[in-house]
Every structure is written in C-alpha cells, then in structure tokens.
C-alpha cells in the first residue's frame, strides 16, 4: 500500500482544522478547474486571466492574508498552503495570485493612502481589478537600486519615464505599482494602466511560466497626479518588504509543484513495468523516491516553521531567504529527478512534470536569485556583504 510523500511525515498533524479546510478548498479548485486545462494553457501560451481572477476572488484567494477592504484576513500559514496548492497546479497560476496579493495589493495595503486602499483594494480582492508590480528592469535585476526609471516633478504632478521588465500580469493589469527614482530616493507610484504614455507588451517565446502573462512596461512621460505616490515608504525598503511577502509564498508554493511531480512519478513507476516488474520496485528508483520524499518533507517543515514565525510577527528577511533558497532549489531538483523516472513520457505535457520543471527554472531565478539569497544568508552569518 503506497503512502503519499507528505503523509509519511504526518504533516497534517501540524495544521489546524481551519488551515486544512482552506487547503482543501484550493486543492479541490485546482483539481477541477486548473489541472484539466493548464497543459493547454501552457502549450498555447495563453491563460484566461480575467476569468481566473474573478474565480480566485470569489474563493477569497486574492490578498487573502491582508486585513480589511474585502480581504479574507487568513493566517500566513493558510496563505502559504493556498500558494502550495495553486503551484501544484502550475507555478504560473500561483504567480498570478502572488503578484496580485503579495506584491500589488500588499504594497497598497502597507504603504498606500486610505484613498489608494479604498479605490483599489476591494476590486482587487474580488478579482475585478488586476494588479502588477514594476521593480525589475532589463539591466537591473538583482541590483534594483541602480534602476533608471524615474519620476520628476512638473508643478504638482509627476512625470514618469523608463521601463520595467519581466512583469507578471503586465498586459492584463488595471493598475501597476511602479518603483522609480525621485529627488527623494526610490518611491512607489500607483499607476492606472490606462494613463496616457503607459504601454505594456507581452513577452513571447518563453519556455517557462507559459501559463502566465509576462510583460515589459514602458512609461513615456506618464503624467500622474501628486497623490499617485505611495506616501508611507521611501527607499528600497518598500519593494523589498513586498518581495518578502511573495517569497514567503514561494517557499510554500514550490513544494506544491514538487509534490505534484513526486506523486506523479510514484504512481507512474508503480504502473510502469520493465523487465517484467514495476520500475518502482527497482532499488535505484526507490532511492530517488526516498531522497525526494525526505527533501520534500524537510522543505515542508521549514515552510511551516516560517509560517508560524510569520504569524507570530517574528519572521526576518534572512529566514525567508532560507525558505526561498532551499525550497526553490530542492523543488527544481525533485522535478528534474522525476522527469528522469518518466523517461520519454516525462517530456510531454501529458504529464505535469516537465511543465513544473520548466516553470521552476523561473521560480529559481525570480524573487531573488538563488545566488542573492545565498549571499544574504552569507552576510547574516559573517556580517560581511559579498555583493556590495
């Protein structure tokens, strides 16, 4: 009798009934709504983002861990578990939700004026309005402080110029949170995407996150009113706080993709016979499964520990780096190993594995590259910054 990798460690014992109930809803939704269609979305490079956003909004997924303004106000652990179930569907689908909730909505919630919150958050929680988040530029990824996008005063107004790259939800967004240099340092701006001078163009020819919208944003003398600026944060602290929210979700999310790969590979290997016996019965395959289940379980314990710290308002950026670094890395390794177990079948979209594997290449890089998280932890351990 085969046992599921995470039930091996009785992970559910660590969850409350409410957390399990929220997870069950997302798992059911992903099983019925996402999994049957996502391979086609991935292949065609197109997702019904608007429809999905409304459905996510109805469940309460968007900005689910924020308080007020129509947000559900769940625990951080529940948010992490939801991210995990979404990413068991597809990293691109989880990205849509992460960017909406943890980047765009969180920025407004944490740093916006009460007018910003009233104007945007209720519609974003319902999924009627979609948000994106512009920090990374073509030439400034790991080092955002060098960004070229700038906002200059023109009377009371702001004039925004520049561009942002690799922006999830970019072409479907109603509002962009854009970080720009000003005379007063880096500031955030709430930019309705129908403002003249704002353009978003979709990035094609991706081999990863194909069930996700990725765009370049260009600002050509975009005139914004004075109150477009997020009043309550200055400097890189603002965007980094948002990224920490999203990275927290990724520490859980990647495990969902890994779990889906591992469960797929185990059930495949039990059915697949070579030399007149199931390949799951071979020692080499079993060693792969054991190593992967151990890593998945460790990653889950790490994620839950981070979740409890976050719910107790004790979590640090370095701790989130440990979660993102380890779980993105191990999930990618698990996906690759599972791909090998499925042999030729592992390269088709008939099975979820190569889709997860290719997606995780992006997740490994975005929201802080593996290298940057390594150096953040190195700095915490030594007091020496290796990257400045």
Partner 1 sequence: MKIAVCVKQVPDTWAEKKLRDDDSTLDREAADGVMNELDEYAVEEALRLAEANGGEVVVVTMGPERAAETVRKALSMGADAGVHLVDDSLHGSDALATSYALAEVLAARNFDLVIFGSESTDARMSVVPAMVAERLGLPQVTFAQKVDVDGSKVAIQRQTEYGYDDVEAELPAVVSVVEKINEPRYPSFKGIMAAKKKPVETLTVADAGLDAAKLGATAAWTKVASFAARPPKAAGTVVTDEGDGGAKIATYLTEQKFV
CB nearer to partner 1: pick between 80 and 162: 80
367 labelled catalytic: yes
3-state secondary structure 56-119: HHHHCCCCCCCCCCCCCCCCHHHHHHHHHHHHHHCHHHHHHHHHHHHHHHHHHHHHCCHHHHHH
H helical segments located in 104-222: 106-111, 114-126
Q: Pick from 30, 38, 64, 77 the residue near partner 1 by CB under 8 A.
A: 64
CB of 82 to partner 1, least distance (A): 8
CB of 331 to partner 1, least distance (A): 25
Nearest C-alpha neighbor of 137 from the set 128, 126, 147: 147
Told to check if 11 binds partner 1 by CB under 8 A, we report no
CB nearer to partner 1: pick between 74 and 326: 74
Tell me the site size for partner 1, rule CB under 8 A.
Answer: 16
Told to check if 74 binds partner 1 by CB under 8 A, we report yes
The number of beta carbons lying within 10 Å of the beta carbon of residue 313 is 7
Catalytic residue among 18, 318, 367, 371: 367
Are 133 and 191 in contact by the 8 Å Cβ rule? The answer is: no
CB nearer to partner 1: pick between 121 and 132: 121
The number of beta carbons lying within 10 Å of the beta carbon of residue 288 is 20
Stretch that binds partner 1, among 14-22, 44-52, 215-223, 271-279 (CB under 8 A): 14-22
The secondary structure of the chain in percent helix, strand, coil, rounded to multiples of 5, reads 55, 15, 25
Instruction: Give the Cα separation of 297 and 279 in Å (integer).
Output: 23
Are 346 and 339 in contact by the 8 Å Cβ rule? The answer is: yes
Instruction: Give the Cα separation of 379 and 276 in Å (integer).
Output: 54
CB nearer to partner 1: pick between 310 and 339: 310
Stretch that binds partner 1, among 72-80, 192-200, 204-212, 351-359 (CB under 8 A): 72-80
- CA distances for 239 relative to 100, 266, 323, angstroms: 14, 40, 19
CB of 130 to partner 1, least distance (A): 19
CB nearer to partner 1: pick between 72 and 147: 72
Q: Pick from 11, 59, 240, 270 the residue near partner 1 by CB under 8 A.
A: 59
Stretch that binds partner 1, among 59-67, 209-217, 304-312, 366-374 (CB under 8 A): 59-67
Q: Pick from 5, 6, 29, 101 the residue near partner 1 by CB under 8 A.
A: 29
Told to check if 78 binds partner 1 by CB under 8 A, we report yes
- Six token digits for residue 93: 């689908």
Catalytic residue list: 367
Catalog residues that contact partner 1 under the rule CB under 8 A.
17-18, 21-22, 25, 28-29, 58-61, 64, 72-74, 78
């Amino acid at each position: 009798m085969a046992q599921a990798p995470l039930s091996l460690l009785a992970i559910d014992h660590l969850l409350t009934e409410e957390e399990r109930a929220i997870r069950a809803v997302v798992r059911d939704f992903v099983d019925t709504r996402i999994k049957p269609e996502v391979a086609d979305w991935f292949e065609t490079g197109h997702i019904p983002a608007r429809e999905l956003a409304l459905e996510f909004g109805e469940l309460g997924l968007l900005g689910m861990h924020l308080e007020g303004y129509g947000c559900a106000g769940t625990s951080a652990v529940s948010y992490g578990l939801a991210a995990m179930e979404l990413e068991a569907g597809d990293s691109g689908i989880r990205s849509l939700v992460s960017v909406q909730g943890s980047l765009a909505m969180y920025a407004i919630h944490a740093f916006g004026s009460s007018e910003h919150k009233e104007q945007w958050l209720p519609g974003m929680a319902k999924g009627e309005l979609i948000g994106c988040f512009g920090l990374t530029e073509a030439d400034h990824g790991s080092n955002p402080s060098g960004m070229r996008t700038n906002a200059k005063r023109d009377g009371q107004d702001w004039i925004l110029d520049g561009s942002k790259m690799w922006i999830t939800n970019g072409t479907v967004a109603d509002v962009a949170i854009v970080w720009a240099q000003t005379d007063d340092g880096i500031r955030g701006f709430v930019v309705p995407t129908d403002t003249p001078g704002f353009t978003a163009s979709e990035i094609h020819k991706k081999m990863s996150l194909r069930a996700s919208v990725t765009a370049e944003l260009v600002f050509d003398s975009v005139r914004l009113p004075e109150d477009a600026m997020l009043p309550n944060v200055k400097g890189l602290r603002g965007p980094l706080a948002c990224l920490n929210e999203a990275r927290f979700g990724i520490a859980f999310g990647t495990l969902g993709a890994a779990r889906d790969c591992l469960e797929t590979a185990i059930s495949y290997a039990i059915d697949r016979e070579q030399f007149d016996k199931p390949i799951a019965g071979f020692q080499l395959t079993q060693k792969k499964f054991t190593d992967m289940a151990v890593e998945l379980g460790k990653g889950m314990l790490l994620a839950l520990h981070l979740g409890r710290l976050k719910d107790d308002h004790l979590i640090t950026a370095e701790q989130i780096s440990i979660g993102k670094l380890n779980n993105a890395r191990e999930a990618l390794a698990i996906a690759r190993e599972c791909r090998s177990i499925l042999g030729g079948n592992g390269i088709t979209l008939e099975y979820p594995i190569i889709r997860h594997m290719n997606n995780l290449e992006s997740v490994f890089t975005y929201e802080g590259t593996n290298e940057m998280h390594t150096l953040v932890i190195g700095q915490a351990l030594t007091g020496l910054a290796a990257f400045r």
